[in-house]
Homo-oligomer: A and B are copies of this chain.
Amino acid sequence: MLLCFCCILMARAETGYELWLRYHAIENKPLLNAYRADIAHLYIAGSSATMKIVQDELITGLSGLLQITISQKTTIAHNGTVVAGTPAGAAIIAQAGLDNDLKKAGGEGFVIVSKITAGKRCIIITANTETGVLYGCFHFLRLLQTGQPIHALHIISAPSVSLRMLNHWDNLNRTVERGYAGLSLWNWHTLPGYIDKRYIDYARANASIGINATVLTNVNANAVILSPAYLEKVKALANVFRPYGIKVFLAARFSAPIEMGGLKTADPLDEEVKNWWKEKAKEIYKYVPDFGGFLVKANSEGQPGPQDYHRTHADGANMLADAVAPFRGIIIWRAFVYSNDNPEDRHKQAYNDFVPLDGKFNSNVMVQVKNGAIDFMPREPFHPLFGAMPKTPIMMEFQVTQEYLGQATNLVFLAPLFREVLQSDTYYNGKGSTVASIINGSADNHALTGIAGVANIGNDINWCGHPFAQANWYALGRLAWDNELSSEQIAGEWLRMTFTNNLQFLKTALPMMLESRDIMVQYSNPIGLHHIMNTGHHYGPAPWVDNLKRPEWNPVYYHKADSTGIGFNRTATGSNALAQYFPEARKQWEGMNNCDEKFLLWFHHVPWRYTMKSGRNLWEELCYQYYTGAARVKKMQANWKELAPYTDRQRFEQVNMLLQIQYDEAVWWRNACLLYFREFSKMPIPSQYEQPDKTLEYYKSLRFPYAPGN
């Protein structure tokens, strides 16, 4: 009787703070008994900070999941012993005959095997490094959390890319650019003296999905982070993260030598400037001996950069690369650039700027490319830079925070977006030259490889605002670890760990997640529309905006609706951005008639009465897509309501309320966009649809001066 009370209270109110590491008791009794037969004792080889974390995690996880007291042993004397450690940490592991497996696992991978050891049935979790053991331990717990069989394990797992990174766009005043989950986690004011438990839990959550690097500060950078007082704070965070295998990077402000060093220039070829950065790097490494390096946004959206001095991006990157090279640091240089005065289609500018620089970057420089050429749109063709700079290690930049995908109020699972990009074929080296193969180094044998995600993490109790937004953090980590994982696999894992293994629940929740991004595209940016959101905060639709001072900031620049049609002609008769793709890739898009309709208006200006594959004309199709998208959100609402029996009340209600907001926003997108585009198509919204109950003027009048993330 008594034991139930805590459990009841916990079941009634799950805040989401625990993420996917809840370790609730396994409810399936036969499975539980099977696990208990295989897991009763623990043998931990080593006592370093990392191995202490392995030990704590296994004890917490196993005692929670199996509801047993795990007995810790110093020898292997019982069947059902879980052994964790490196070969260097224990002779019994070194002698377990796992050399070949460990070779395949590499520096960060791990091996999990069921094996008779010292005459006893054991499960060995091992790796060449302690960080690898930690990853293996989380993977092992994940098997239990998701109800997988463990009686004959033989798992070898190695990461697809070497840098699996979060980019925090966090400002020093704790606001987060494009953050929708509260303030920055980093409470700079109370650092270094106060170590918020969240720092530890953040590191733990990242380690559980293989994330091994974090850029603490916004790419729209502030030089103050490089001051001694702040480096003390950075050091404190790095010390927390280190045993979890996480390296700290910082965003560098290119003009720091002026702002902080008192120099007159930040010219990357100036000796004083070079020297300032060298001294600064030396100083940083005194605080953080394993500092990862700098992430740099230069000459983009007002940020200073080498072009201010008529130098190239390579000049700028290499100057910084020289400064961190003695300490094995790297420079990650962003390719997200477009210029004030460049009349060229923004789609083409990064390619034009960077392709000529291929081969000119130092060996410790990576170029970080957003998944698409515009800016993290709900659906965007892959960036033409993938495959176009074979001599340069290219790092992927995904956006986990949902700037353009419903921010904190929409349920949108991003793994299908990430997958769509990674699996896209660039045809760089013939068919099958996927973006993934370029990113993970297999195409060009680059040793520096990486995937970064712009973080969606803040100080909201549940970390990410929307309960389902946690899944996007999870997906980034899992896909960075294994580029081949399917969206189904990732969503399934996450749902089981975060909610329940109940099959009735999964039957409904899993397809809901998997379709959610497609639904969002449909009610906001169908048929290849893009960048038609509101100005500044990017919340909601505003396709009518045409008065911003830079042309490429205006939605009308992108949709180009007029009396003849809608869409951006990027073929040879237009901006010819398509020419930046390899011919085979280009081919799938360049003909209006055979272009994948998902990207039709991305690449073509299409007549309003153009006949779509559905038989509807373009205007009718636009209406169909917007109405279908909104209707599918209504269906999501109904589906979710059926899941009440399977989830705790708090998160059920949260998602329930948020889906209602999402439906209202979908209707807003639908009505505002169709009323606006109708002015050009001159055709009515077909009468079978519920007509908008507000006017275009009403939608134009809406203002959100305090929308978050701006």
Chain A residues engaging chain B, CB cutoff 8 angstroms: 1-3, 5-7, 9-10, 13, 15, 17, 60, 63-64, 67, 69, 172-174, 182-183, 188-190, 193-195, 197-198, 224, 408-409, 459-461, 650, 653-654, 657-658, 660-661, 664, 704-708
Contact = CB atoms under 8 A, between A and B. Distances in A.
- Most B-side CB within 10 Å, residue of A183, A654, A660, A707: A183
Contact of A193 (B6, B10, B660, B708): B660
A661 B190 contact: yes
A653 B64 CA distance: 24
27 contacts: A2-B67, A3-B3, A3-B6, A5-B63, A5-B67, A6-B7, A9-B64, A13-B197, A15-B197, A17-B461, A172-B706, A173-B706, A174-B706, A182-B459, A183-B459, A188-B706, A189-B707, A193-B409, A193-B660, A194-B409, A194-B658, A194-B661, A195-B657, A197-B653, A197-B654, A459-B459, A459-B460
Nearest to A190: B409
Contact of A705 (B2, B6, B195, B224): B224
- Most B-side CB within 10 Å, residue of A2, A194, A657: A194
A654 B199 CA distance: 13
A3 B653 CA distance: 28
B193 A661 contact: yes
Given A182-B459, A706-B172, A708-B174, A69 B1 contact: yes
A23 to B, nearest CB: 9
Contacts of A60: 9
A196 to B, nearest CB: 8
A173 B193 CA distance: 28
A650 B707 contact: no
B2 A6 contact: no
- Most B-side CB within 10 Å, residue of A1, A182, A195, A661: A182
A699 to B, nearest CB: 14
A375 to B, nearest CB: 22
A460 B185 CA distance: 10
Contacts of A63: 5
Contact of A408 (B7, B173, B190, B224): B190
Nearest to A461: B461
A3 B8 CA distance: 12
A197 B650 contact: yes
Contacts of A708: 174, 189
Contacts of A174: 706, 708
Given A2-B3, A9-B60, A182-B182, 20 more contacts: A2-B67, A3-B6, A5-B67, A6-B10, A9-B64, A13-B197, A174-B706, A182-B183, A182-B459, A183-B183, A183-B459, A189-B704, A189-B706, A189-B707, A190-B409, A193-B658, A193-B664, A194-B409, A197-B653, A459-B459
A167 to B, nearest CB: 20
Nearest to A60: B9
A264 to B, nearest CB: 23
Contacts of A6: 3, 6-7, 10
